[in-house]
Chain A
Amino acid sequence: MSERCLLDRILEPGSLSVRLQPVLELHGGAVHPHYFEALIRGPRGTSAESPSILFEYARKKSKESVVDRACVAAILDETREMPEGSVLGINVHASTLAMDAGFVEFLAARLQARGLWPSQTVVEVVEHAPPWNVGGFRAAIAALRGLGTRIALDDVGLGHSNYMMILECRPDYLKVDRHFVDGCHRDFHRRAVLASVAQLARPFGARVVAEGVEDPADLAAVRRLGINLVQGYLLAKPAPVAEVVALAGRQSTAKSRRPPLARLQAGR
Chain B
Amino acid sequence: MSAQAHSARHVLLLDDEEAILLPTARYFRSLGCAVDMAREPEEAEALINHRRYDLAILDLRVARFGGTEGLDVLREIRRRDHDTSVIVLSAYISPEVEDQARALGADSVIRKPLPLPDLAHLAFALMGAARE
- A residues in contact (CB < 8 Å) with B: 1-2, 5-6, 47-48, 50, 52-54, 56-57, 60-61
Number of A-B contacts (CB under 8 A): 44
B16 adjacent to A1 (CB under 8 Å): yes
Residue pair B36, A47 in contact (C-beta under 8 Å): yes
Let me know if B45 is at the binding interface, CB within 8 A: yes
* B46 near A1: Cβ-Cβ < 8 Å: no
B38 an interface residue at 8 Å Cβ cutoff?
A: yes
B50 & A5 in contact (Cβ 8 Å cutoff): no
In angstroms, how far is the closest chain A Cβ from the Cβ of B64?
7
Query: In this complex, what residue of A is CB-closest to B49?
Result: A56
* CB < 8 Å neighbour of B42 from A2, A50, A60: A60
30 sampled A-B residue pairs with Cβ under 8 A:
A1-B16, A1-B17, A1-B18, A1-B39, A1-B63, A2-B18, A2-B39, A5-B39, A5-B40, A6-B39, A6-B42, A6-B43, A47-B37, A47-B43, A47-B46, A47-B47, A48-B43, A52-B50, A53-B43, A53-B47, A53-B49, A54-B46, A56-B45, A56-B49, A57-B43, A57-B46, A60-B42, A60-B45, A60-B46, A61-B42
Evaluate contact between A53 and B50: CB separation under 8 angstroms: yes
A94 to B63, CA, bound (A): 33
User: How many Å lie between the Cα of A54 and that of B47 in the bound state?
Assistant: 9
Known: A5-B39, A47-B47; 4 extra A-B contacts, CB below 8 A, are A1-B17, A6-B39, A6-B42, A52-B49
